[in-house]
């Protein structure tokens, strides 16, 4: 019985040592960039999150994540005033300058901004 238990334990350890298992590939660090959606109070319009993402993709920038957000500024509650809505995207660190060339800004440059899941 003792030999059987020993064999089961050794087989368990051998199963954990599968050399054919792929090691995770280290990913490039990402940086969050943002762009105002151009939305104003009381009026439809502005860019959707998908439209902003398409700007990045069309420029060859890989989008690693996306979410909605706000710039954190206080705006007067009146028709025609901006809403402060932004699109937030994670892009590879090596492609940040290309995103900035498209009018995106570093999320870190908006100190009061926040990102949150988009409402459907």
What CATH code is carried by the domain that includes residue 69?
3.30.70
Q: Which domain holds residue 105?
A: 28-116
- Whether 85 is in a domain gets the answer yes
pTM: 0.75
Query: Residue for token digits 């030999």?
Result: 3
Sequence-separated (6 or more) residues with CB below 8 Å from residue 92: 28, 29, 30, 31, 61, 62, 64
Does residue 13 sit within a domain?
Answer: no
Report the C-alpha gap between 48 and 39 in whole angstroms.
9
pLDDT in tens, 64-91: 999 999 999 999 999 999 999 999 999 9
93 belongs to a structural domain: yes
Residue 58's pLDDT band (cuts 50, 70, 90): very high
Task: Count the Cβ atoms, other than its own, within 10 Å of residue 105.
Answer: 17
Total domain count, the chain: 1
- Give the Cα-Cα-Cα angle 102, 60, 50 (nearest 5 degrees): 70
Residue 1: inside a domain: no
């Amino acid at each position: 019985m003792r030999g059987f238990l020993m064999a089961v334990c050794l087989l368990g350890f051998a199963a954990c040592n599968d050399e054919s298992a792929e090691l995770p590939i280290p990913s490039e660090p990402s940086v969050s960039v943002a762009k105002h959606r151009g939305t104003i109070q009381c009026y439809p319009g502005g860019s959707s999150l998908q439209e902003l993402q398409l700007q990045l993709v069309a420029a060859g920038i890989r989008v690693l994540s996306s979410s909605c957000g706000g710039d954190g500024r206080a705006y007067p509650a009146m028709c025609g005033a901006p809403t402060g809505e932004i699109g937030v995207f994670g892009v590879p660190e090596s492609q940040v300058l290309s995103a900035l060339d498209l009018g995106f800004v570093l999320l870190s440059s908006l100190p009061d901004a926040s990102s949150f899941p988009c409402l459907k």
